[in-house]
A and B are shown apart, each in its own frame.
Chain A
């Protein structure tokens, strides 16, 4: 009984004590309305539900509120010096964009609540969707009759920290389809004729997604570029694409109906995972090179890929031929990889702003082109500790013109252990890619 009384008294005393302290200084509990208005760079619109944080620099009290439609957040705060910060993450054209803003607000007793405090945001890219792997060279058939090369795929990986939408994202291949010295885009000055005009050619057709697809940060999607079936039924060295998570380029209701490239996809792949084609060339299948493709992904701005590609104003013939290309502005290109065939001379097709280098491939033996790991950035992620697998052994330096990942990190093995890999993205295939002795889907 004594104890109960004592506890009761203590609670009363505490309550009184708090009340007393509040009443010590009237100005301390007087609050003022502070409205913060986010001012975006001209390319960006205000959106709802962006969290704005106000921190009282004196006592570290933190206040949070979400923006309304016009990008305003309102706080009721007592007098003090505050730091307002905001981070708005956007997915723009296949890249992650971070909009940051910071301002200091001094709330005094003379605070007038009518004028919002403007908080200017600046945009910065924070990684993008990258081509993690391009497998295009095929493998050996089981009966010894040669190469099976109709099993190419590409893996797109979200290398940023934010979910990225693939709206208006398209797949393209540059001409000439194979790297060659007889590239008709080269003028007598030794330069690509489109370099000065800031575009790159996408030959014959582009592929785009049917529905809006998003890739969460650090996740990937696999796109079968031909034969989206379990190819291992016949070719044990090939790829099994019978996976409900996979996507495929399949659009036989249009011009690309060559069933040797596009048999009916595995029934486990949902039909909304079929990419659509917009074909402006004359072929009946996408002419992806099995030796040395120049593959890129791009995201249209202000238009859809289909509308852009169908407009003859954006089309052109590859010089001296009937092959048709569309002109893809360089700033739309999200990522690209230029591949050179082993022992084959050729001129680069991608301009230096898109891809300043190239990676060499040996076709027909199951090798793939795989992205190098950004060791520094990957090791900097705290959660990766203990999950990274080193001593990468799938490089091909023993081959002529072969390559390996200089980071030494085995990305796929690390991912299996739960690591989050950050890949190198310097827009230079020589630095960013290596030839892997096994397609990652065969791991």
Chain B
């Protein structure tokens, strides 16, 4: 039905367009001072999707323009972008546009995020000047420029991948459901930094520390910041051409066009960066080649030059236009790469030859063809093909030692296996590492590869006064991982780990078709109505996976209405904008196929011999991969309403949003009971065969241990065993309960007060998050034992998981004041930004669909509800939570209501009571459910940029330059803490950049 409507609109508009009259406009673009031609400048009419490029004489031609007014935007690298209004009623060939070189000598320079008012969706642009003023090291830092954004605390890049910063838009911090960072996507010149085929970082496993695998967004440290021209951030409902996202889109544009040599040097306490770039004119209309190189080295510790992150970026972009006179074909071919990563190797404090390093190599390629056909039935045809390949190999070299032989388990099948010397069987399921000293080199080889292709056609036209643009497109993307997964270089000494090859996991293919109609209707009195409606259909196909093909539809709608534009009145402009849309985040390969886990139970080990040699036999039980036929793709629905306008020179925008995430991805566990045999050392007491003559064997299937005599003097003898009941746990992804976020964002730009050449801007945000997980989830204490010496056998089913709280509520109100003083005469811009956090509120929640989940207890030792207190949120009692019911491993079918049985057991079965008590969850503080409100706090950043003539400029910044040491109060505990070295605000930090143009 919807597709039918689009087809009708398309045919109707084509017919109308064919019969309307059209004109040709041509002209030239000149440099303002010297009146020299500007080549490779882009001349575009955005609402018609027309872009042409000037030739070496600065000339351009646009054909087939309908009568009426049009907005022409002219931009070129190194020049100030300009916009002109043009009335078209006849052919014109006399147009001359002047561009001025970007510099602080210009009247208008923006060092804040600019709201893109021409867009129907909520989006912001951050330009070169703002990036230079901030001295951005990692692009995630620009989130601070969004309304209410706060400066990142991180002062260097030298951290492991698992703890680096990620983009997360409209969140109040960690602990929110729906993997907000995973839903925020980043594109560099159209190349998506997809995480769909990235497996969670297993470096922690290499370090042999326990850690849960976390699904996050892309690591942006490999994106050189010196070559970025602008960044666009869409926080609202994006056009349907963008899919596979649920929480914002960040598009990074690198520098393209002719430019002089540009040399930058940045010094910050922990970081040094050097970069070089130039846009080469290949002459004779052969196009422009942009080359950029950046080297950045960031150390984690000021006092030590070791443990560093390195970035070596090389970027080459070729752009040119052919057939400029008739149907120009504009091509941009980009290739960029990074060599670098995190390395602790050189640290002399570490033991010789031990290190941890993470490669962050990447290569990104894109081919963008934009063919301006400018026919009534088609305006342009765009083809974009991208490739993104990363090598994110982590390597950890460790020094190990042991005073007795140790078992390293590599079994991937179920059964009983014996630890065997590597020399006897290098492929043994369990390798016995002899006592002594050795090194291990472990690697986690993650090589995500994403390929995308898109073909998009635009048809723009005019029906009477109505401007319309129809976009039709088709997308294909394929993401896979070419990495080997976790492995060790020498199996002789590899510790317990399992091979899981990422390159053997199926690729995720996604096809999408989309159509979007955009209408613009100018009305009388400066009124204007803009509207776009689009629909995107995604089809995900995973080869060789039970998930097969899954499809989803995302409708999106944006509208804005300009009530008036009356320059003479005080409220000269007022408009309303509304957006509604669905966005679907495709699951990652890891969500579809979590890395299998293994349960290894020690089955038999006799005593260690004098030389340290020992015999170990384990029972291994692998988790099985569970196909969840009910898994739905996570979807978020966003509704936005914005009121904006202009009063005098003050522009303002107030935006309200509400987003609801349906079917968020959550990890769940299924338990399957099994028994295994355990033979303990006492089975060998008074054994007739002397230990030196014993040969042990264990039956792979039954687990029965047999001892033979090497000398043959004694017959074989089976050892006595015990059977133990336990369960294997299989984790899989499912959909959790829907949750919502809502908030307000505002920007009030007071403009510049000419007398002091200072502009003021206030921006802020209020975010409200509430998420409660109510799905029943099973939990077994797999490593705990019961008083009778058996493994713990009761599985509790908790609403929303085995945590005392099953959700949280958070509210955050931030407000920033930016004061910018710009003095063109002395080519200087100074900005001061005061970031204030007025409300930072969080509360743990425990809510149930069945009634109550959790009750106050009189003291921490109690297991039963208090007779006096009833409110868990009063914050003066410990709180206990019961499972809804439990089952036992020896009877998985009978669901026993917990509360009743527990009360019964207290009186009648003390042993059962002691065991069931382990299923009761309790808060560890009596104020756990009390709200946590951090009193208001602030920090201030100062930055200044000064141009020394035409060719040199210097920027200086100081974050938290007042080094705020005042105190904040935490309402939950009543404690106070100083802001010095507090994670709430950035640490006092500074940086200096020198830029030279040649």
A residues engaging B (CB < 8 A)? Answer: 141-146, 148, 151, 227, 229-235, 238, 242, 252-255, 257, 259-260, 263-272, 274, 278-279, 282, 284, 306, 310-313, 315-317, 319-322
Contact = CB atoms under 8 A, between A and B. Distances in A.
A269 B404 CA distance: 15
A234 B863 contact: no
28 contacts: A145-B354, A151-B403, A227-B403, A230-B610, A230-B612, A242-B610, A254-B785, A255-B784, A260-B406, A263-B402, A263-B406, A264-B614, A264-B615, A265-B681, A266-B609, A267-B606, A267-B608, A269-B607, A271-B680, A271-B681, A282-B783, A312-B863, A312-B914, A313-B861, A316-B861, A317-B922, A317-B924, A320-B924
A259 B691 CA distance: 21
Contacts of A271: 680-682, 684-685
A41 to B, nearest CB: 32
B807 to A, nearest CB: 20
A238 B402 CA distance: 12
Nearest to B694: A267
Nearest to A270: B685
Given A233-B611, A265-B607, A317-B922, 17 more contacts: A143-B437, A144-B351, A145-B354, A146-B351, A148-B401, A227-B404, A253-B722, A259-B407, A259-B602, A266-B607, A266-B608, A271-B682, A282-B783, A284-B783, A312-B863, A313-B861, A320-B925
B898 to A, nearest CB: 15
Nearest to A228: B608
Contact of A267 (B354, B437, B691): B691
Contacts of A312: 863, 913-914, 917
A259 B354 CA distance: 24
A257 B602 contact: yes
A306 B787 contact: yes
Contact of B403 (A235, A269, A279): A235
Nearest to A278: B787
Nearest to A313: B861
A252 B602 contact: yes
Contacts of A320: 924-925
Name the residue in A232, A267, A269 with the highest tally of chain B Cβ atoms < 10 Å from its Cβ. Answer: A267
Contacts of B608: 229-230, 242, 263-267
Nearest to B916: A312
B870 interface: no
A312 B682 CA distance: 30
A143 B925 CA distance: 45
A145 B607 CA distance: 28
A315 to B, nearest CB: 8
A212 B678 CA distance: 26
Interface residues of B, number: 50
A265 B680 CA distance: 12
Interface string B245-262: 000000000000000000
B436 interface: yes
A322 B924 contact: yes
Contacts of A265: 607-608, 681
A234 B922 contact: no
Contact of A266 (B610, B684, B924): B610
A113 B691 CA distance: 66
Contacts, number: 135
Interface in B648-685: 678, 680-682, 684-685
Contacts of B996: none
A273 B650 CA distance: 84
A279 B685 CA distance: 26
A37 B351 CA distance: 73
A319 B612 CA distance: 41
B832 interface: no
B612 A233 contact: yes
B403 A253 contact: no
List the 4 closest pairs (A to B, CB-CB), nearest first. Answer: A267-B607, A310-B787, A231-B403, A264-B605
Contacts of A284: 783
Contact of B860 (A143, A259, A317): A317
Given A230-B612, A242-B610, A263-B404, A319 B924 contact: yes
A270 to B, nearest CB: 8
Contacts of B304: none
A231 B610 CA distance: 10
Contacts of A270: 685
B77 interface: no
Given A233-B612, A252-B602, A320-B924, A268 B914 contact: no
A321 B606 contact: no
B610 A145 contact: no
B797 interface: no
Contacts of A269: 607
Contact of A234 (B436, B914, B917): B436
Contacts of A254: 785, 789
Contacts of B437: 141-143, 145, 234
Contacts of A266: 607-610
Name the residue in B399, B614, B678, B785 with the highest tally of chain A Cβ atoms < 10 Å from its Cβ. Answer: B785
Contact of A310 (B399, B615, B685, B914): B914
Contacts of B616: 259, 264
B968 interface: no
Contact of B401 (A232, A235, A279, A316): A235
B784 A282 contact: yes
Nearest to B863: A312
A254 B614 CA distance: 20
A103 B3 CA distance: 114
A36 B517 CA distance: 114
B914 to A, nearest CB: 5
Interface in B602-626: 602, 605-612, 614-616
Contacts of B399: 143, 145
B401 A143 contact: yes
B404 A264 contact: yes
Interface in B803-822: none
Contacts of B428: none
Contact of B614 (A253, A263, A310, A313): A263
Nearest to A322: B924
B212 to A, nearest CB: 16
A89 B680 CA distance: 39
Contacts of A232: 403
A284 B600 CA distance: 14
A238 B403 CA distance: 9
A321 B352 CA distance: 37
A2 B200 CA distance: 117
B463 interface: no
A227 B405 CA distance: 11
Contacts of A315: 861
